[in-house]
């Protein structure tokens, strides 16, 4: 049985669906049953458990062989990393109590750093949480998701503006979440020995300028790129509804990206196939 956490989220939903289509047994673990309609419609087994509830997680993992783990982000965390540590401790307890013998964790490029990377510290914590356990451990570190840009689509359509926190010409590795979910499914069901860490990115790196040109091409619309400068970050995030802790972690993460701390940490990152233009065309 493949246990998939975060199964109503972007990656988790596609992963559960991919495994199901490959004929694999899947149990989708969700926090909110109301969001599980599509999973049930597909025919996937659904188990409701809050990741802060250790006993519920132990039950969710029961009978599982492989588990997909991630660090869910609370919408308004008062202390995000404290919550992450609690959740990861519960993962460890549930794994030990349930007989899971393989975990696949969704990490992030930049997870090699223990501190000063904001939200990315959660990936570091996940990668180091299961030392001493006699289980196969694989962590997949995706680059910056194309889907992060899609969050601006409404603003682009209404006002013709694409905001960016990055220097306009700075190129970054980016990736399609669709490709990530397919890669994760293959990793979960593969029985031969694998790498402990996979870094995955798309076929090419992009700058914000590259991204805005692709938006213009696909939407057939003039779009103005608008850089949000560092001294504007905090007020911008507060206006967007971030808590003080959420804003702090986002700013540290963004600074880490700009400072080059999320560059590849493995000798041969895996280049997957979907480019941003194709992803955008499929999305809109």
- pLDDT confidence tier of residue 192, bands split at 50, 70 and 90: confident
Q: Residue 227: pLDDT above 80? A: yes
In CATH, what is the architecture of 2-143+174-201+265-273?
Answer: 3-Layer(aba) Sandwich (3.40)
Which phi-psi region, left, alpha or beta, contains residue 85 (left: φ > 0; alpha: ψ -120 to 50)?
alpha
Number of C-beta neighbours around residue 21 at 10 A: 11
**pLDDT confidence of residue 75:** 59
Torsion angle of C-alpha atoms 148, 151, 216, 160, degrees rounded to 10: -140
How do residues 15-61 score in pLDDT, each as one tens digit?
A: 999 999 999 999 999 999 999 999 999 999 999 999 999 999 999 99
The burial class, CB within 10 Å (0-12 / 13-18 / 19+), for 24 is middle
- pLDDT confidence tier of residue 78, bands split at 50, 70 and 90: confident
**pLDDT confidence of residue 272:** 98
Average pLDDT over residues 175-183: 98
In angstroms, rounded to a whole number, what is the distance separating the alpha carbons of residues 175 and 199? Answer: 11
**pLDDT confidence of residue 74:** 65
User: In the predicted model, what is the mean pLDDT of the chain?
Assistant: 95
Which phi-psi region, left, alpha or beta, contains residue 31 (left: φ > 0; alpha: ψ -120 to 50)?
alpha
Average pLDDT over residues 100-115: 97
- pLDDT confidence tier of residue 258, bands split at 50, 70 and 90: very high
In angstroms, rounded to a whole number, what is the distance separating the alpha carbons of residues 227 and 236? Answer: 12
- DSSP for residue 32: -
**pLDDT confidence of residue 29:** 97
- Min mean pLDDT across 69-78, 102-111, 176-185 is at 69-78
**pLDDT confidence of residue 76:** 62
Domain boundaries, the chain: 2-143+174-201+265-273
For the chain, the maximum distance between any two Cα atoms, rounded to a whole number of angstroms, is: 56
**pLDDT confidence of residue 12:** 97
φ, ψ for residue 211, nearest 5 deg? -65, -45
Average pLDDT over residues 246-265: 94
> What pTM does this model have?
0.95
Q: Which are the contacts of 64, defined by CB distance < 8 A and separation ≥ 6?
A: 1, 2, 3, 27, 98, 99, 100
């Amino acid at each position: 049985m493949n246990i998939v956490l975060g199964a109503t989220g972007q990656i988790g939903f596609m992963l559960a669906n991919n495994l199901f289509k490959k004929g694999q047994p899947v149990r989708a673990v969700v926090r909110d049953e109301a969001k599980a309609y599509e999973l049930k419609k597909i025919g996937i087994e659904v188990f409701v458990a809050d990741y802060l509830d250790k006993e519920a997680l132990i039950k969710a993992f029961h009978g599982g062989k492989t588990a997909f783990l991630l660090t869910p982000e609370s919408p308004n965390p008062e202390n995000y990393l404290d919550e992450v540590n609690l959740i990861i401790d519960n993962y460890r307890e549930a794994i030990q109590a349930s007989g899971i013998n393989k975990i696949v964790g969704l990490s992030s490029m930049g997870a090699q750093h223990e501190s000063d990377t904001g939200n990315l510290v959660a990936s570091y914590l996940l990668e180091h949480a299961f030392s001493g356990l006699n289980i196969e451990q694989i962590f997949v570190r995706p680059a910056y998701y194309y889907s992060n840009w899609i969050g601006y689509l409404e603003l682009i359509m209404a006002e013709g503006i694409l905001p960016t926190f990055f220097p306009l010409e700075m190129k970054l590795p980016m990736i399609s979440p669709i490709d990530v979910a397919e890669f994760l499914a293959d990793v979960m069901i593969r029985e031969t020995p694998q790498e402990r860490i996979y870094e995955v990115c798309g076929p090419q790196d992009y700058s914000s300028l590259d991204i805005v040109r692709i938006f213009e091409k696909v939407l057939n619309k003039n779009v103005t790129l608008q850089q949000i400068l560092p001294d504007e970050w905090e007020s911008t995030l507060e206006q967007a509804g971030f808590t003080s802790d959420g804003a702090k972690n986002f700013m540290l993460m963004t600074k880490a990206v700009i400072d080059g701390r999320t560059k590849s940490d493995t000798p041969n990152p895996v280049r997957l196939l979907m480019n941003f233009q194709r992803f955008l065309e499929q999305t809109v």
